[in-house]
Structure 1
Amino acid sequence: MTIDWSEQRILIFAPHPDDETLGCGGLMHRAKAAGSQVFIQFLTVGDTADLSPKGFSTANERYAEIKEVADHFRWDDWHIAFPGDEYHLRLDQVPRVDVCNAIERKSPLSIATIEPTIVLAPHRTSYNQDHQVTAEAVHTALRPSNTALRHHPRVVLAYEEAADQWRYEAAAPPNLLVELAEHDLDAKVTGMRLYGTQMHDHPHTRSELTLRSLAALRGMQSGVALAEGYHTLRWLA
């Protein structure tokens, strides 16, 4: 079964700026080229201790990066639900009902507002607490109910990141593979380079070689040159 990317309205939930590119950069580029709408709901961003030469990146630097990446991928819109240091890397301290409500209906890019045909979220087996909270909150927000009362996207997928494999209960291999052309992967790598505070040299989970190697592995597993892997949570045919 294939997806007609020309008719999709895609909503991606990213715990932090760069997660959407790490997990879905190739898909975003392929979908936008075909005519899809793409919306990015970030959960949080703040000042970050990192492995950059100065060892620190500010929220303002991260905002500037988002704007460059948004232009690069031609997103239709983006929004941050819980900005600030009181939330960044602390989403596990936010009442789950508040996170679910933002995702479901209270954010400008909520499921109720956008009415997406495809929703993508991080996988719950990530070691990162913000990723876990985002995955579980999206899962709750998309709980089964009467479709006459609440919007139900027909496709719900969990995206993968190389760092997720570190967790001892890492997920099984992806069960949905999206074929990428070379230019889709190049666009993904370029997008990550625009996140200058987050991109790293190899060996690192956010290095260019890691991104290209994972795409080659997923491609090989599906009999094509390059692919991105996803875990299917819902597929209504």
Structure 2
Amino acid sequence: MDAVSRQIEGGGVTEAQWAASPWLQSLPLASPAALFGDARRLVVVSPHPDDEVLACGGLMSLAHQTGLAVTVVSVTDGEACYPDQPAWSPERLRVARAAELDDALRCLGLASAARIAWHIGDGAVTASEAWMGEQLAALLHPNDLVLAPWRFDGHPDHEAVARACVQACTARGAALKEYPVWGWHWLDPQAAPSAWAPATRYALEDDLLDRKRDAIQQFVTQTGAVAGLECEPILPAAVLQRFERNYEVLIG
């Protein structure tokens, strides 16, 4: 989750504003079983290590618990999140963020999940959009359920990944749902009913929510729980609140 878009500035929409949204609170609540349906595999495509856990870590864990195979595709290594921090060079961040994702998936019971890493340059994903579409089309099967970023999420890496997923899912006949990440930051809650139609909530039981929160805390470079970081972290408390709810939202 790396902030490089003009829409991703400042504190963004507060969690209190989202909590006051009648639309969000009245979203249809569906069971994970309804989401997974007859899928044989859940494929989660993530622009940066942490996007998948933030947006849909609970559903990933539930899929594994129900016996659904889970594949996690990491598009970038997330190495460009702190370009002005000498203590956290891209080389160091590549290693750190991969380890953080390992730890986060372990918290979710997903240590054995299949993993694919493409190592595309963080912040430069758009240039590889066609290649990603081809790789995904080769990976996917018609009975896969794919979770991808929202195609208008406001971050160019997220949007390029989303477009590639749409292309591949269309070509292969795989089901697709989209997850917002930065959309929670900049989208006016009053515009959400039209921007995110249709959308569905999926409840997370307390024990799963605790595991997801533990998983999120493994991304220490992003929360700022590391030495040598002399700037605001990518995931301050105000941002984390959006992903610590007792439900997750998917679009489509």
> How would you bin the TM-score normalised by the shorter chain?
0.7 to 0.9
Query: Which amino acid in the other structure matches residue 206 of structure 1?
Result: L
Q: Output the amino acid matched with 2:102.
A: K
Aligned to 1:28: 60
| Structure 2: gaps spanning 5 or more residues | 1-29, 226-231
Q: Describe the SS at the equivalent of 1:198.
A: helix
189-198 or 41-50, which deviates more: 41-50
Indicate the SS of the match to 1:48: coil
TM-score with structure 2 setting the length: 0.69
Which residue does the alignment assign to 2:202? Answer: 178
Q: Which moved more, 1:185-194 or 1:65-74?
A: 65-74
Flag the 1:23–1:213 CA change in 2: closer, same or farther, 3 A: closer
Q: How does 1:75-154 map to 2 (within 5 A)?
A: 75-81=112-118, 83=119, 87-94=121-128, 96-105=129-138, 110-112=139-141, 116-143=143-170, 150=172, 152-153=173-174
Question: RCO higher in 1 or 2 (8 Å CA, sep ≥ 6)?
Answer: 2
Which SS does the other structure have where 1:80 is aligned? strand
What do residues 30-67 of structure 1 show as CA deviations (whole Å, max 9, x unaligned)?
22223222110111115324398945452111222222
Deviates more, 1:184-193 or 1:62-71: 62-71
Q: CA deviation at 1:19?
A: 0.6
User: Are the aligned partners of 2:153 and 2:182 in contact in 1 as well (CA < 8 Å)?
Assistant: no
Change (3 A) 1:161 1:120: same
- Sort the Cα spacing of 1:199 and 1:91 in 2 relative to 1 into closer, same or farther, 3 A: same
Work out whether 1:159 is the aligned partner of 2:188. no
Unaligned runs of 5+ in 1: 217-225, 233-237
Distance 1:88 1:163, change over 3 A: same
**Which secondary structure does the structure 1 equivalent of 2:122 belong to?**
coil
What is the TM-score normalised by the length of structure 1?
0.72
CA distance in 2, matches of 1:182, 1:208: 20
Structure 1 SS opposite 2:221: coil
With 62-71 and 13-22 compared, the bigger mean Cα shift is at 62-71
What RMSD over aligned residues (CA atoms) do the two structures have, in Å? 3.1
Describe how 1:208-227 pairs up with structure 2 within 5 A.
210-213=239-242, 216=245, 226-227=246-247
The 3-state SS of whatever aligns with 1:197 is helix
- The size of the alignment, in residue pairs, is 205
Identity %: 22
Partner of 1:72: 107
Question: Contact 2:42–2:146 at 8 Å: present in 1 too?
Answer: yes
SS at match of 2:220: coil
